């Protein structure tokens, strides 16, 4: 299994699972959004649109479901405005893995 070595730590990231999930820029940026903090679906879409200027593609829901099935994210129902929304966040283990993965892009 190929691993990504990070600059600042000897920790290795199993790249096969993560690279399969991050097969396009949209998915990569969704992970960046979740790495920065918990967010509900509409919030993720809004942040993506504001930063990138485009719609999330492919659809957000199937990707979040895939992340949950792999154990990368969890959600908690929380009141947001007048609605209860699923607020997604990276699991602690995967927050560290995604952080190491993102650090591999640092100069």
pLDDT digits (tens, 9 = 90+) for 34-58: 999 999 999 999 999 898 888 876 6
Distance of CA 82 to the CA centre of its chain: 26
- Residue 89 pLDDT: 96
Tokens of 57: 């593609």
Q: Which residue has the higher pLDDT, 88 or 54?
A: 88
- Judged by DSSP in three states, 32 sits in helix
Q: Which residue has the higher pLDDT, 66 or 10?
A: 66
Residue with tokens 């990138």: 52
Residue with tokens 């995967």: 94
Contact criterion met (CB below 8 Å) for 1 and 20: no
pLDDT over 90 at 18, yes or no: no
Q: What is the mean pLDDT of residues 90-101?
A: 88
pLDDT over 80 at 65, yes or no: yes
pTM strictly above 0.85 = no
């Amino acid at each position: 299994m190929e691993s990504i070595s990070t600059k600042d730590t000897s920790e290795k990231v199993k790249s096969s699972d993560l690279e399969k999930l991050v097969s396009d820029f949209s998915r990569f940026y969704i992970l960046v959004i979740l790495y920065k903090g918990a967010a509900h679906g509409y919030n993720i879409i809004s942040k993506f649109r504001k930063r990138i200027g485009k719609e999330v593609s492919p659809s957000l829901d199937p990707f979040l479901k895939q992340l949950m099935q792999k154990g990368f994210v969890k959600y908690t129902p929380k009141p947001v405005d007048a609605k209860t929304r699923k607020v997604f966040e990276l699991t602690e283990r995967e927050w560290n893995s995604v952080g190491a993965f993102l650090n591999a892009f640092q100069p």
